[in-house]
C-alpha cells in the first residue's frame, strides 16, 4: 500500500493560486486545492514509501515558488 499524506501549505501573500498550479506539475501530487483558514493550499500526495513521500515534500513541494511553509499529515487508514 502506498504512503499517502495531506500537505498543508501556507503561501506567500497573493500566491495561493500559483502554488496550487505549481503543485499539480509534481507527479506524486494527486490533488492541490485552495482552501480557507489557517492554510492556503492542501495537497494530497502519494508515494511508494514514507521516506519517498518525505523527500517529495522537502525537495519538490517546499521549492515551489510562493510556498512559505508546509505541515504534513500522514494518512493512517
Domain CATH number, residue 28: 3.30.70.920
Q: How many separate domains does the chain show?
A: 1
Q: How far apart are CA 72 and CA 54, in angstroms?
A: 9
Give me the chain's average pLDDT, please.
Answer: 97
Task: Tell me the per-residue pLDDT of 1-32, one tens digit each, with 9 for 90 and over.
Answer: 799 999 999 999 999 999 999 999 999 999 99
SS3 34: strand
Residue pointed to by grid coordinates 515558488? 65
Look at residue 77 in the predicted model and tell me its pLDDT.
83
Q: How far is CA 70 from CA 1, 35, 53, 62, in A?
A: 24, 14, 13, 7
Which residues constitute the domain of residue 49? 3-74
Amino acid at each position: 500500500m502506498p504512503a499517502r499524506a495531506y500537505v498543508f501549505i501556507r503561501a506567500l501573500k497573493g500566491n495561493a493560486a500559483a502554488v496550487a498550479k505549481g503543485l499539480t506539475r509534481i507527479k506524486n501530487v494527486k490533488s492541490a486545492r485552495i482552501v480557507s483558514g489557517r492554510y492556503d493550499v492542501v495537497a494530497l500526495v502519494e508515494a511508494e514509501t514514507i521516506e519517498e513521500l518525505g523527500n517529495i515534500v522537502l525537495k519538490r513541494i517546499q521549492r515551489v515558488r510562493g510556498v512559505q511553509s508546509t505541515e504534513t499529515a500522514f494518512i493512517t487508514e
